[in-house]
Amino acid sequence: MKILANNLKRQYELYASEYEEKALEVLRSGWYILGKEVSGFEKEFADYIGTKYCVGLASGLDALWIAFRALGIGPGDEVIVCGNAYIACVMGITINGAVPVFVEPDAYDNLDADRIEAAITPAAKAILAVHLYGQSCDMTKIMDIAHRHGLKVVEDCAQSHGTTWQGKMCGTFGDISCFSFYPTKGLGAFGDAGALLTDHEEYADFVRMFRNYGSRIHYQNEVVGANSRLDELQAGMLRVKLTHLDEFNEERCRLAERYNTEIRNPLITPLKTRPGSNNTWHQYVIHCPYRDELMNYLRDNEIGTLIHYPIPPHLSEAYAYLGHEKGEYPITEKYANEVLSLPFYNGMTEEEQTFVIDKLNQFKPDQEK
């Protein structure tokens, strides 16, 4: 049996006729940029998450860098971010000339709030809380630290659509929250898309102006902005998918529960969920000290896997200019060598999951054979 790490076609097939109907409606409307689908989605998604404003953008990365721009964070300012975050999180900071200050992850693979204060310098302006893999950071601690030190908080919710902390939706804690709707995300479009959410009218206004060449009134440009508009077709698709998001999340919880209980190989440790957070299981991530060997073994058995992420941002070539060294963030680097994302997608069959579980339970590294 051949099993892909991710299989977007399955999720599409669950509600194909709804997407096709909406796509035709948008195509036949003759209106493709900033119209009723975008404004409808913005309202529905803000209501779903529980913020006052949502501004549709072209991608999650755009949401991040435009968020820092809106907050006035720029050259010389420092932003605290988890060392094992996705590279786009760091780019959202550095595109503005600001400097990422890396903090090691905790036992839940997310920003370790207990290490934040030691990383705060007089140049610190914000904390970027990335809710990695579908579960929440400790937002109680993070918001408390931010208030005490006068820092802004941006939430990166690209992997946490519908995740909650103490029963409250991720994306409602910080000054601004950023979402990606890249096709593999919990709420995924059929192309690139993103959004920025906030309760602050001034930020929402700025971003609406900024995403459209820095223009509120046609041909009058207040700042050098971006072309980062969510398009009508993607917004229409997202409106359809949003009505099924809870159901998709529930299905992923059921799949994760099965992996949690049936994987019984002492070398494979599933991700723990932080008490206080639910988990929408953006990925199903395990840790294994023989990760590369496990990955090759699964590949030989036609089981696809992915690594989120093999090179931590501080060791990426793109960030050589920051001058970090190997060994500087040992927990981050250890995680990069241990994590593996198992096949996991809406529409995964019981048979497929059984096959993966059996192979995992049979895995033995060479040195233990």
List residues near ligand PLP by CB under 6 A: 59-61, 86, 88-89, 130, 156, 158-159, 180, 182, 192, 194
Q: Point out which residues pair with 128 in neighbouring strands.
A: 81, 154
Q: What span, in angstroms and rounded, lies between the C-alpha atoms of 95 and 63?
A: 12
> Least CB distance from residue 85 to ligand PLP, whole Å?
6
> Least CB distance from residue 64 to ligand PLP, whole Å?
6
> Least CB distance from residue 231 to ligand PLP, whole Å?
14
Is the CB of 61 or the CB of 348 nearer to ligand PLP? Answer: 61
> Least CB distance from residue 367 to ligand PLP, whole Å?
34
Is the CB of 95 or the CB of 267 nearer to ligand PLP? Answer: 95
29 Cβ neighbours under 8 A, 6+ residues apart: 35, 232
Q: Point out which residues pair with 105 in neighbouring strands.
A: 111
Is the CB of 134 or the CB of 225 nearer to ligand PLP? Answer: 134
Is the CB of 82 or the CB of 101 nearer to ligand PLP? Answer: 82
> Least CB distance from residue 181 to ligand PLP, whole Å?
7
Confirm if 204 and 186 have CB atoms less than 8 A apart. no
Q: Point out which residues pair with 153 in neighbouring strands.
A: 127
- Concatenated DSSP letters for 173-220? SSSEEEEE--TTSSS--SS--EEEEES-HHHHHHHHHHTBTTEEETTE
Is the CB of 297 or the CB of 344 nearer to ligand PLP? Answer: 344
Residue 302 CA, chain-centre distance (Å), reads 27
> Least CB distance from residue 8 to ligand PLP, whole Å?
14
Q: What span, in angstroms and rounded, lies between the C-alpha atoms of 212 and 207?
A: 9
Cβ-closest position to ligand PLP: 60
> Least CB distance from residue 57 to ligand PLP, whole Å?
9
Confirm if 313 and 82 have CB atoms less than 8 A apart. no
> Least CB distance from residue 286 to ligand PLP, whole Å?
18
Is the CB of 156 or the CB of 251 nearer to ligand PLP? Answer: 156
> Least CB distance from residue 219 to ligand PLP, whole Å?
29
Is the CB of 153 or the CB of 360 nearer to ligand PLP? Answer: 153
Residue 275's CB is within 10 A of a number of other CB atoms, namely: 8
Confirm if 339 and 307 have CB atoms less than 8 A apart. yes
In the chain, at which residue ranges do the beta strands (DSSP E only) sit? Answer: 53-57, 78-82, 99-103, 124-130, 152-156, 164-165, 168-169, 176-180, 194-198, 215-217, 220-221, 269-270, 285-287, 339-341
Q: Which residues of 11-32 are buried (b: 16+ CB within 10 A; e: fewer)?
A: bbeebeeebeebeeebeeeeee
Confirm if 230 and 41 have CB atoms less than 8 A apart. yes
Is the CB of 59 or the CB of 234 nearer to ligand PLP? Answer: 59
